[in-house]
Amino acid sequence: MTRRPNERPPHTAIVGLQWGDEGKGKIVDLLTSEHDVIVRYNGGANAGHTVVVGSERYALHLIPSGILYPDKECVVGNGVVVDPEKLLQEIDALRARGVRVADNLRISDRAHVVMPYHKEQDAALEEYLGAKTASARGNLSIGTTRRGIGPAYADKIRRSTAIRVGDLLDPDYLRSRLHVICTLRTAELEALGVRTAPLDPDALATQYAAFGERLRPHVVDSVYALHDAMLAGRSLLFEGANASLLDIDHGTFPYVTSSNCSTLGIPSGTGVPGHAIGRVLGIMKAYSTRVGAGPFPTELDNELGQRIRERGREYGTTTGRPRRCGWLDLVAVRYSAMVCGATGIACTLFDVLAGLDEVRICTAYRLPDGTVTDRFIPDAHRLEGVEPVYETLPGWHEDIREAPDRDSLPEAARAYLARIEAVVGIPVEVVSLGPERTQTLVGGRRAAALAHA
């Protein structure tokens, strides 16, 4: 993390290496001061970032947390699915708290729109797959956030039924598309047994054109905007939403989200080529959590898991659901770090592990046939059958939240970090010891409090 004076930071990506909720918001916030433009490339309002500034707590879903700095630009890239109603609520809530949201927020005209029928469809499919198929085939629901993410991306792939942010600015075009889409969608929702009244394309067109009008000052061709920024020597910080093990291609399919949340989503989700990114900081908790359904080899479905949940406040920012908790799975983290090209790690919620006599790290899986592998299995059905192989390390009892540097951490805590570095093969550059900015070790030393909006 040490740079020569006046040296520009490289374009950086921040990405979660587990199943989400790794505390990316705080790390993004920390690195924001070193960059000029903060860019979202994937996902939608299914993500939730919490940033604590003094006594203020900000929960952001669509807008990058860089918005809290008046001199930074925030870009919502083309790979994001935007729920305009939620986005406007977020803008209004920020403004009500005195945060400037003007030309510092730019939204891609090519980002796809999450419509109300996507949310209806998301919930209806979850119910259908949970209840209706449960007896015959087991529960096939994913445990989605029901924010309409999957159906919106499905429409993007289907093309003819998609709406993009740019379409909201052209009311006649929007209306004509909605007339066709609503007929189809009403039939699909009826088939799932949830809709009685047909969708009203004219009412939706009026409402969404009005949202478009409010968003118009922010809507840009984000691909050119980002390339212009790079040409002007400005540095970009890419903020991954959700996390690598939820990546549609590389995660624990089918228990994943619908976008490329790993750094591989950056080129397609922003139009910036991958080789432009010089640094990838992978964020991992000192333990593991997961929300929703899907395999979780190191899950602690017991008192210890409950203790981690309470100490780590492991309840969803977006849905409030209790998160499933377990030991650190380094097979999974090493795999995500490989796929993302991580150059360093930020280990978050490290303070939560204090107070245990011993701690465990999973470094391999035992397969049903008895063989042992250190390779991850990005397939839910096959991953269900593995047993974690653990290393047991001594725990520590000291409160480490105010530790001034890495060297003054208890020996067992230092050994835990060293083991992560040895197994994953990259340095732990940042250690988060609590929710405050200052409760962070960056390059081994305590981070300074930063001037803020």
Cβ atoms 87, 62 nearer than 8 A: yes
The answer to the question of residue 292 lying near ligand IMP (CB under 6 A) is yes
CA separation for the pair 280, 11 (Å, rounded): 9
**Among positions 42, 141, 258, 343, the unique one binding ligand IMP when judged by CB under 6 A:** 258
Considering the complex, what minimum distance in angstroms separates the CB of residue 408 from ligand IMP?
Answer: 33
Cα–Cα distance for residue pair 299/322, rounded to 1 Å: 13
> Which of 15, 21, 83, 403: binder of ligand IMP (CB under 6 A)?
21
The binder of ligand IMP chosen from 42, 46, 263, 288 (CB under 6 A): 46
Exactly one of 11, 29, 35, 49 is catalytic; name it. 49
CB of 81 to ligand IMP, least distance (A): 10
Q: Which range binds ligand IMP by CB under 6 A, 159-167, 238-246, 358-366, 412-420?
A: 238-246
Q: How many residues bind ligand IMP (CB under 6 A)?
A: 20
Using CB under 6 A as the binding rule, whether residue 257 contacts ligand IMP is answered as: yes
CB of 21 to ligand IMP, least distance (A): 5
The DSSP bridge partners found for residue 14 are 239, 281
Nearest distance, CB of residue 291 and ligand IMP, angstroms: 4
Under the binding rule (CB under 6 A), the answer on residue 322 touching ligand IMP is: no
| Residues 96 to 125 in contact with ligand IMP, rule: CB under 6 A | none
Q: Which two tokens stand for residue 284?
A: 């991992």
> How far apart, in whole angstroms, are the C-alpha atoms of residue 78 and residue 269?
5
Active-site residue among 11, 21, 61, 218?
21
Residue number of the CB closest to ligand IMP reads: 292
For ligand IMP, the closer CB: 119 or 177: 119
Report d(CA 254, CA 294) in Å as an integer: 8
- Pick from 11, 12, 13, 20: which binds ligand IMP (CB under 6 A)? 20
C-alpha 312: how far from chain center: 18
Is 242 a binding residue for ligand IMP by CB under 6 A? The answer is: yes
The yes-or-no answer on residue 29 being catalytic is no
The 129-148 contact track toward ligand IMP, x by CB under 6 A, reads -------------xxxx-x-
Give the separation between CA 260 and CA 209, rounded to whole angstroms. Answer: 29
Residue with Cβ nearer ligand IMP (316 or 385): 316
Choice between 335 and 416, CB closer to ligand IMP: 335
Q: Which residue has the tokens 């790794």?
A: 22
Say if residues 63 and 95 touch (Cβ distance below 8 Å). no
Nearer to ligand IMP, 223 or 380 (CB): 380
- Closest C-alpha among 9, 286, 283, 258 to residue 145: 258
- 118 is annotated as an active-site residue: no
> Which of 124, 149, 331, 423 contacts ligand IMP by CB under 6 A?
149
Q: In angstroms, give the least distance from the CB of 180 to ligand IMP.
A: 25
Residues 359, 395 contacting (CB under 8 angstroms) = yes
- Binder to ligand IMP among 25, 64, 66, 150 (CB under 6 A)? 150
Stretch near ligand IMP under the rule CB under 6 A, chosen from 15-23, 91-99, 186-194, 386-394: 15-23
> Is residue 47 involved in binding ligand IMP (CB under 6 A)?
yes
Give the residue numbers annotated as catalytic, written as ranges: 21, 49
Residues forming contacts to ligand IMP in the complex (CB under 6 A) are 19-21, 46-47, 142-145, 147, 149-150, 241-242, 246, 255, 257-258, 291-292
